[in-house]
Amino acid sequence: MAKRFGVVGCGYVGTAVALHLRQQGYELTGTTTGPSRLAELCDLVDHPRILCAGDPGADFSVLDDLDGLLISMAPTTANNKEDQYRAVYGEAVTALVEALRRRPREQALHVSYLSSAGIYGDQSGAITTEQSPPDLSNTTNALLVQAENAVLDLNTPMIQTCVLRLGGIYGPGNDIPSFIRSASGQPVAKNGNHINAWVHLDDIVRGVDFALQLRLQGIYNLVDDLQLTRRELSNALCDDEGLPPVIWENHDRPGARVFNARVSNARLLQMGFSLRTRSMLEPVAAC
């Protein structure tokens, strides 16, 4: 019998994971928050469902009978960012966790929860591992960490949970190199001395599959090998095409959410995971 896998939040990442695992022979359930994308999901998964976690009438029966689950929720509306973040990483994650606790059938389940390496915040560019304390001075980071903890608290012999902290995502439909080059010669109101973390969409898909197969538990950074400042990265991308550099600021804007860390992927690599794309500056490794 096919193993059953669910994706809560078939957005950019969730869709790619669903597509991959269905090709691997899993029976897929996938969710979207409203009817507008349901037809799209019919082509993607075996069981398309509407689920808006956090809504009073949310139907969590989609979680019954699953062997594996990916939680890949993010705010999708641009208005009032703080409220949207609270709705998803506060209320929706809490509701989902409670529903998982109340699952009617005692059946082994592996859960991968997608979080962000952004929670490390300002580490002054230092090497940052899963052991490094997150930067909780920022309210968004504090909310994201609270959501991670809620999911990790689910861990029992029957439900194994892991958190994958992602870098900024690049890949098909999200051409970050072109986006950065499009700022060539122009001022950008961000600190060019800060180091960001990145990851290719395909490596996220492979990472979720890896976590499922190994039934990983705990926190893992899922980022590529690139540990450059914004300025170093944009210079490399612009030089490559003979373009003038992007003009970054050398200081933080007041109140800006800072991310400045050399995020290490060593823990996941030690478990046996390998990246296909080591950075957006390098060609993809052969399969």
Contacting residues toward ligand NAP, per CB under 6 A: 8-14, 31-34, 37, 51-54, 72-74, 76, 88, 92, 114, 116, 166, 168-169
| CB nearer ligand NAP, residue 72 or residue 265 | 72
Q: In angstroms, give the least distance from the CB of 197 to ligand NAP.
A: 9
How buried is 105 (Cβ within 10 angstroms: 0-12 exposed, 13-18 middle, 19+ buried)? exposed
**Six token digits for residue 192:** 């060019």
Nearer to ligand NAP, 116 or 227 (CB): 116
Distance CA 76, CA 31 (A): 14
Are 96 and 140 in contact by the 8 Å Cβ rule? The answer is: no
Supply 287's token pair.
Answer: 């399969």
Nearer to ligand NAP, 86 or 245 (CB): 86
Question: 86: buried, middle or exposed (CB in 10 Å: 19+, 13-18, 0-12)?
Answer: middle
Nearer to ligand NAP, 32 or 191 (CB): 32
Tokens of 203: 């490596």
**Closest distance to ligand NAP from the beta carbon of 71 (Å):** 7
Nearer to ligand NAP, 92 or 237 (CB): 92
How far apart are CB 13 and ligand NAP at their closest, in Å? Answer: 3
Gap between the Cα atoms of 8 and 10, Å rounded: 6
Q: Cβ of residue 208: shortest distance to ligand NAP, in angstroms?
A: 11
Closest CB 244 distance from ligand NAP, rounded Å: 27
